[in-house]
Amino acid sequence: MKNKYFYAESREAAEKMAEAFFGCNKDGITLETTGDFDSAAPTLVLAMVGTPEEMRNSNGSYQLYYEAEGLYLELYPVRGAGTELESMELTRHLSRKNITSLDTSTVQNLIASRRGRGKIAPAQKEYIYGENIKIDISKDEMQATATLLKPEPGGAMLEFEAAKKIITDTGVPFGLNEQTLKSFLEKKDYGVPVVIAETELAQDGEDGKLIFHFSTDERTGKPREIGGGRVDLRTLDLFVPIAEGTLLITKIPATEGTPGSTVTGKLLKAKPGKDVNLPKGKNIDVNAEKTEMRAKCSGMVEFINNSVNVSSVYKVDGDCDISVGNIEFDGSVHVSGNVRSGNTIKASGGIVVGGTVEAATLIAGGNVEVKGGMQGADKGRIEAGGSVTIMFIERGTVITDGSISTDVSIHSVLEAGGSITAIGRRGAIIGGRAGAAGNVITNCVGAVSRANTEIEVGVMPRKRVRLKYLEKEIERLKNEVVKLDQLDTYLANSKDKMDPETWNKLHRSGVENRLINEHNVEDYNFEIDGLKYELEHATDSRVHVYDTVFEGTRIIIGNGVYKVNEEIKYATFKYKDAEVIYGPCDLSRQP
């Protein structure tokens, strides 16, 4: 589309000017006036080659005219569904034209008006700019990025040596990849930034570390032997005994690392290794150099939540009720009485309750021992990082990373990273659900009343929940990929129309999001494969029943399920040939 502004005193004069300028008949020219021809002063007229129909959806545009009186800039308005003129495109063009004495205020006024004609500089010879290169140095000066700038028609192409000189003059004397620069100049991907210089990274120091001289493994929670083949069911392996002066932790300090340099030649310091601090602790001694920790007294040592505690116990004489309130303690908690409904005890160490637990909550980083039982009323809950020993559980929830030992569980939810043992005067799991990564050992499962009872061994139930969650996340990420593909298609179709800065921003965002998406999918698939493998091979654990398994019970091992439709006596359930089978109990009765 050809456009030109004229000052004329009449429409006829404007038509003649346009015919002479464009070299065509007035029938092919459309005029648009900005004033009244009857006024004393000449009127500014926009002449356009084409019919009104042809110009109905024209884009906003501009043109420079190098005339005897000066350099003029003309802006032509957008019409209909056309696209507005990109002001950034215009200003970049003007900056590359090497215009002498540019009147920026006139340029800005024209841009604000989106139309019109104005003198923006004195008369001068037109400069035809050629291909150029723009260099950006990263803030850390570890990379230099080049962007190839498009030339005007007839402008000179940028040669390799000239490009090298521009890069050097810009302040990037080191790290240039000449092969990348040659390819960059050949491809002619205008407006696309490419990393053309990188330098050697500094070698960061190694982080400090701690060496533990005592076991931080989970305690077994098994009863301790007292001689004569007997065990004390109330004295369990719940802590690590320690003597005064015992070395607990040694610290290995961090190193400084090796420096490097930037693309601009500046020294790049190495990042020192991150030092590690000795853990917090109670009843411990630290040497002057802060490289060793020793026990200050004899007792038990626990490492929980980055804290080393030696024989630190919070005691409650009597019941934990409203007069005591909730307890949150960095150590172990001993309650001589009962824990009443509504109370919560949180301990970074273990919890010992001398009586019963009602509809309360116990959360422990270590082991939990309840010498009575739990009457949970479907609200009682115990969570432990170690093992749980409790006389009975009625309508409660017990979740532990260790093992669970009880006499009877009634309509409760049990989940153990170790084994579940229900042996005693009653020795039964009646109703509810019991899941253990280890074995389940009990006298009875279910009841004569056919109470729905589910036993699962080989894997903690929460891992099945985790697997379902990850599979849903994979589906969500697949949908995100579809959206990213749509963005790529949109950007591919909009590259010549969109402002390069905006296009590059969206492009980088899409690339970064795709990398994050791919990384998450890889991590999730790896975890899913591990969980599936664990579920498929979680077949070594068994369910040992010394007395009766009642109708209404489901036994789950790996991917196998056995539904008990009639009473089964003295049996061991195990996984074989892709199904759950049972035979005579193969575990000797425990004392």
Residues 12-65 have pLDDT tens digits of: 888 888 888 888 888 888 888 877 777 777 888 888 888 878 788 888 889 999
**Measuring CA to CA, which residue among 451, 434, 325 is closest to residue 388?**
434
For helices 461-494 and 500-536, angle between their N-to-C axes, nearest 10 degrees: 160
Give the list of residues 6+ apart from residue 169 with CB closer than 8 angstroms, or none: none
Q: pLDDT band at residue 553, thresholds of 50, 70 and 90?
A: very high
How many Å apart are CA 477 and CA 491, to the nearest integer?
21
Q: Is the pLDDT of residue 498 over 70?
A: yes
Q: Is the pLDDT of residue 224 over 70?
A: no
How many Å apart are CA 348 and CA 266, to the nearest integer?
49
> For residue 237, how many other CB atoms are within 10 A of its CB?
14
pTM of the entire predicted model: 0.45
Q: Terminus-to-terminus CA distance in the chain, angstroms?
A: 100
Q: What is the pLDDT of residue 298?
A: 58
Question: In angstroms, what CA-CA distances link 419 with 57, 61, 407, 436, 568?
Answer: 77, 78, 14, 6, 22
Residue predicted with more confidence, 543 or 323: 543
Q: pLDDT band at residue 493, thresholds of 50, 70 and 90?
A: confident
Of 247-256, 295-304, 484-493, least confident by mean pLDDT is: 295-304
Q: What is the pLDDT of residue 218?
A: 64
Residues 422-434 have pLDDT tens digits of: 988 889 999 999 9
> For residue 544, how many other CB atoms are within 10 A of its CB?
24
Q: Is the pLDDT of residue 351 over 90?
A: yes
Q: If you ran DSSP here, which 8-state letter would residue 489 be given?
A: H
Q: Is the pLDDT of residue 236 over 70?
A: no
The domain spans of the chain are: 3-121, 132-198, 209-304, 330-462+539-584, 463-536
Q: pLDDT band at residue 237, thresholds of 50, 70 and 90?
A: very low
Instruction: Kindly give the residue spans of alpha helices, DSSP state H, lying in 74-159.
Output: 87-96, 104-113
Residues 461-474 have pLDDT tens digits of: 777 778 788 888 88
Give the list of residues 6+ apart from residue 225 with CB closer than 8 angstroms, or none: 231, 232
Q: Is the pLDDT of residue 232 over 50?
A: no
Q: What is the pLDDT of residue 219?
A: 53
Report whether 79 contacts 58 (CB < 8 A): yes
What does the mean pLDDT of the chain come to? 86
3-state secondary structure 398-419: EEECCCEEECEEEEEEEEECCC
Q: What is the pLDDT of residue 494?
A: 83
Which tokens in the block code for residue 426?
A: 């009653």
Q: What is the pLDDT of residue 239?
A: 45
Q: Is the pLDDT of residue 153 over 60?
A: yes
Report whether 336 contacts 320 (CB < 8 A): no
Which tokens in the block code for residue 277?
A: 């601090």
What is the rounded average pLDDT of the residues 336-345? 93
Residues 98-144 have pLDDT tens digits of: 999 999 999 999 999 888 899 999 999 999 999 999 899 888 888 89
